Structures are given as structure tokens and as C-alpha cells.
Amino acid sequence: MAQAFDAYDVGAIWASYDYDLSNAVPDTLTINGKTHICKKYSVNSVYGGTSIWPATVEDKPMAVQIKYNDMQGNSLLYQLWDWG
């Protein structure tokens, strides 16, 4: 399934379009026993979609979870399990 995402670059997709990022939804994630207060941003295109959950971890803003979806319905989920 990972090969489905070889040509899928979320940075390029987000940079190629003028997405409205005002659609943030408050969300709370618990990852590896740590709770993160986040905002969830999502964008979709004909190629699939991406959701990003940024939060502040030890006074540093970063993505604590990223989810990619392709147009066939496959998905990959990346989570921040440790920092420091």
C-alpha cells in the first residue's frame, strides 16, 4: 500500500493551490500516552486528501499527526510518538 503514495507529496499539493486554511476544527489527540490540544486542517483534491493536526509541544509548534488519503481509499497515518 505504501507505493500508492510514492508520487504523493503533500507539501507540493498544499503549495500548488490557494487553500483556505480557515477551516480549522479544534481537536484533542492522545498519542503514545500524551494528550495534544490541536487544530485539524483538511484539504482535498482529485488526487486524495490530507489532514494535519498541529499543536505546541514543549513550546514548539509542530504537526503531531498527518493523515494522507489517496483517490483509491488507501490512507497513511503519521504520528509524533516522542520528542526530545
Q: How far is Cα 23 from Cα 42, in angstroms, rounded to an integer?
A: 8
Question: What's the pLDDT tens digit per position in 33-59?
Answer: 999 999 998 887 777 888 889 998 888
Question: What's the pLDDT tens digit per position in 57-71?
Answer: 888 888 899 998 888
Residue 75, H or E segment: strand 75-79
The pLDDT of residue 19 is above 70: no
Q: How far is Cα 69 from Cα 10, in angstroms, rounded to an integer?
A: 10
The pLDDT of residue 2 is above 50: no
CB atoms under 10 Å from CB of 40, counted, come to: 16
Length of the chain counted residue by residue: 84
Residue pair 64/53 in contact by the 8 Å Cβ criterion:
yes
The predicted structure's pLDDT at residue 1: 40
pTM of the entire predicted model: 0.72
